[in-house]
Amino acid sequence: MADPQPEIHIEDAPPRLADNIRAHLGIGREPCDRPLARLWSLRHRIEREIDAAARALGYYHLRIVRLEFQRGRECWRLTLKIVPGPRVRVARLRLAIEGEAADDPEFRKLQRDPPIRPGDPLDHGRYERLKLMFHNLALRRGYFDARFRVHELKVDPARNRAEIDLVFDSGPRYRIGPIQVRQDFLDPAFLDRYLGLEPGRPYEASVATELYRRLAATDLFRQIEIKTRPVRRPRPEVVVSVVVKPKKRHRFKVGLGFDTDTGPRIRFGYLDRYLNRRGHRFQADLKLSPVDPGVTGSYRIPLAGPEERLDFNAGFRHLRLDTYRANQGTFNATYLHPRGAWSETVRLGLSYERSHFKNKAEPVSSLMLVPSLHWTHERLRRPGRFVVRGRKFDFLTGGGVALLGDGGHYLKAHLRGSYIFSLPWHARVLHRWELGALFAPRFSSIPAGTRFYAGGNRSIRGYGYRRLGPKNDEGHVTGGRYLGTVSLEYEQRFLRNWGLALFLDAGNAYDRLGEIAGQVRFGAGVGIRWFSPVGVVRLDFATPVWRDRPRLRIHFALGPEL
């Protein structure tokens, strides 16, 4: 049970004034057993503190008409009745900026829209906050010699008016000076490309944050230390010191996973972070799975920064699905770089596939040249284990040119979008959609892995993985030219890291656009969510609705939400 506390009751005062008076009164710290005579002896101090609290908010004519102490059952009580009187208002505000900041758009913006305007009630706290905003902005923008040449607040209580006169002298803006890097395992010329700092550029406080982000994104350093030091001579500049220590060169990893689309899987990986002093790296991965085992190897060459690189990779994959079996081999050259808020990937590859549909006696084999363009955009707000707001877009377009075998030429476009919206009552709405189109003169010659399918965890729940799409006369799914799916999910969080979900999915893969209305399939159900430290665990109980016979299907997955 909490200890009793003194009670201070203030009558006829605006709420903000009453709160400020309570905050200023030191008598509130007196113990409950203090004699009333001792409390009465502090009357003059109380009156001074009330006057100071009132003046801070512009009340220069406040009168105390009642000040009374009483003994309660557990503690003493102070009753105050006051007459605030008229409030002083700001009659004139002068904000002048001198020095290089006079032409700085951030300072001009603060000058045009300050937190105090003529006609506002006087508030000493807002006046001090205005001065602090100038000082903080100067530090962020690199004006390290900035000061107020004039800072005056004149109050005329007789006329209830105040005048504010501020002249801010920013002095020179500091520039980025020498960049000192301490490390001995990378070529300095290579590391300079990652720094992204141009000596002579105007300094901003975000320089250190952005530099740390760029270095951390390389996955090369286990420790990054960045220090900035302003110097006035021989010129105003900021010396940037960077100390980095390398991560281990070799990394081995083993991963286990399971979902109802591809079953259990185990991954073995190897990474060599430092093939040479120019940051080249090699990575190899082996995946064992009953549905799609495979092996890949990649060689990465960093270019201008962590977001720009050239990759060469090769891989082999064996697919064992209910609808078809396939062996796939690929070799790709990939150039990845940022384009505004998007990431753009340009790829030129060779692809070999030998696929066997259930309805065909002979397999289809093809060797194809596959150029493609891929754009991705992702924005997430994740204060803890779960995303409160996010969006992700993927747009892939490309084609294939048959070089050898049975395959034919084609063009393909594939779009995906995902959104997460939070609701005030610890709930979220998740929405995703997917569209695809494939154009080919001889569709029957297109490899199975290139066609479109629907069904599964990330498609239409209630149906098996890739078990929706055009079928042959024997009822086997052969894949379609077009794809269209949409999903809407409501998720209610309970306890701390658990949630319940209701969802509805719809769509299919199609051969002709004219048959979409008659071929749409629906899946609906409920799910359980656990926001674990390693990702969201999703357990869904789904069934087809409307056009197909209801039957329960369980979907389980662990992975990213978008």
| Angstrom distances, CA of residue 251 to CA of 224, 232, 268 | 20, 45, 11
Quick one: 421 and 466 in the same domain?
Answer: yes
Residue 535 — pLDDT band, cuts 50, 70, 90?
Answer: confident
Quick one: 138 and 221 in the same domain?
Answer: no
Q: Which residue type sits at 39? A: L
- Peptide bond preceding 118 in cis form (omega within 30 of 0): no
Choose the final residue of a domain: 246, 275, 297: 246
Residue 32 has pLDDT above 70, yes or no: yes
Tokens 């960049």: give the residue.
179
Is residue 298 assigned to a domain?
no
Quick one: 349 and 222 in the same domain?
Answer: no
Contacts of 476 (CB under 8 A, 6+ apart): 323, 357, 358, 359
| Residue spans of beta strands (DSSP E) within 157-262 | 161-169, 175-182, 221-231, 237-246, 250-259
Q: Strand, helix or coil at 129?
A: helix
Q: Report whether 543 contacts 461 (CB < 8 A).
A: no
Quick one: 40 and 182 in the same domain?
Answer: no
Q: Report whether 471 contacts 477 (CB < 8 A).
A: yes
Quick one: 61 and 187 in the same domain?
Answer: no
Cα–Cα dist 452/438, whole Å: 8
Quick one: 352 and 496 in the same domain?
Answer: yes
**Please, where are the H alpha helices in 74-219?**
105-112, 124-141, 188-195, 206-216
Cα–Cα dist 88/126, whole Å: 14
Q: What is the mean pLDDT of residues 160-178?
A: 95
Residue 326 — pLDDT band, cuts 50, 70, 90?
Answer: confident
Quick one: 357 and 480 in the same domain?
Answer: yes
Quick one: 150 and 198 in the same domain?
Answer: no
Quick one: 153 and 209 in the same domain?
Answer: no
Is residue 302 assigned to a domain?
no
Quick one: 157 and 180 in the same domain?
Answer: no
- Give the pLDDT of residue 287: 93
Number of structural domains found in the chain:
4
Q: Report whether 415 contacts 392 (CB < 8 A).
A: no
* Owning domain of residue 200: 175-246
Q: Tell me the per-residue pLDDT of 1-15, one tens digit each, with 9 for 90 and over.
A: 567 889 999 998 999
Q: Tell me the per-residue pLDDT of 289-305, one tens digit each, with 9 for 90 and over.
A: 888 899 999 999 988 77
Quick one: 463 and 330 in the same domain?
Answer: yes
Choose the final residue of a domain: 120, 151, 169: 169
Q: What is the mean pLDDT of residues 413-439?
A: 95
Is residue 441 assigned to a domain?
yes
- HEC assignment per residue over 444-495: HHCCHHHCECECCCCCCCCCCCCCECCECCCCCECCECEEEEEEEEEEEEEC
Is residue 301 assigned to a domain?
no
CATH code, domain with 541:
2.40.160.50
pTM greater than 0.75? no
Quick one: 387 and 504 in the same domain?
Answer: yes
Residue 505 has pLDDT above 90, yes or no: yes
Residue 361 has pLDDT above 70, yes or no: no
